[in-house]
Structure 1
Amino acid sequence: MSHPVGLPNLFLDRSLGQKIVPMRLREVGLRLTTLAERYPGRDETVTDIEWLRDAGNYNEVVFMKDKRIRKNYRGLAEAGPIYLFRV
């Protein structure tokens, strides 16, 4: 199976894990990047605004389950336009 035409690449926050969820999504053909892959060695310290802005710049769809980000509306606005889904 391959990544659906027209679907942007995905970006997964560390709250969804680094192994099982990304592996399962890749098994069905989805293209994605995890927080740990994009920021090796600093995935625990990169700011939410930085990684959200970068995901927006890459036109990625963000999946996360971190409730703190949803409450930080100012930070989301600073990150710029992004597609964000909290699961």
Structure 2
Amino acid sequence: MSPSFFLDRSLGDFRVPQGLRDAGWTVVTMRERYGVSSAQSLADVDWIADAAQRGEIMLTADRMIAKRPREARVVADARARVVALKDGRRTAQQQLDLFLSSSNRLMALETRQGPFVISLSARGLTPLELRGDA
């Protein structure tokens, strides 16, 4: 069985999610789950806890989740599994291409227990330290 992925607002609502779906991935976006207005205002701590409770692997362009104390604590407490792009300034197509070229490594995270935030780059996956005690 393949994992389910939750995409935060930093990855957009169209190109990246649709491209992943076209490749056979199971994904849900913030907009789909929470609606347009709620998705824009929802605090990171809320969607992280919710997606973790649902067993989803979170994809984001926001690596700071590992460094901001509130978000890092929620990742740890909820045993969340988060993959953050190392370079969040990529275009949607570049983001999609990186996720697809890393497909095997990302799918393998289904069996890995959280909590973790992993940085994804063309070179691979790099674990990030959670800074929830700062």
- TM-score category of the 2 structures, normalised to the smaller one: 0.7 to 0.9
How far, CA to CA, are the matches of 1:45 and 1:78 in structure 2?
18
Write out per-residue CA displacement over residues 28-86 of structure 1, whole angstroms, 9 at most, x where no aligned residue.
11111101111102111001000000000000000001133232133232351111000
Q: Which runs of 5+ in 1 are unaligned?
A: none
Higher helix share: 2
How far, CA to CA, are the matches of 1:84 and 1:59 in structure 2?
11
How far, CA to CA, are the matches of 1:70 and 1:76 in structure 2?
5
* RMSD after superposition: 1.3
Structure 1 residue runs of 4 or more that deviate by more than 6 Å after TM superposition:
none
Figure out how many residues of one structure are paired with residues of the other and give that number. 82
2:53 corresponds in structure 1 to 57
Return the TM-score normalized by structure 1: 0.85
2:67 maps to 1:71: yes
Larger radius of gyration: 2
AA paired with 1:15? S
Higher strand share: 2
2:22 corresponds in structure 1 to 27
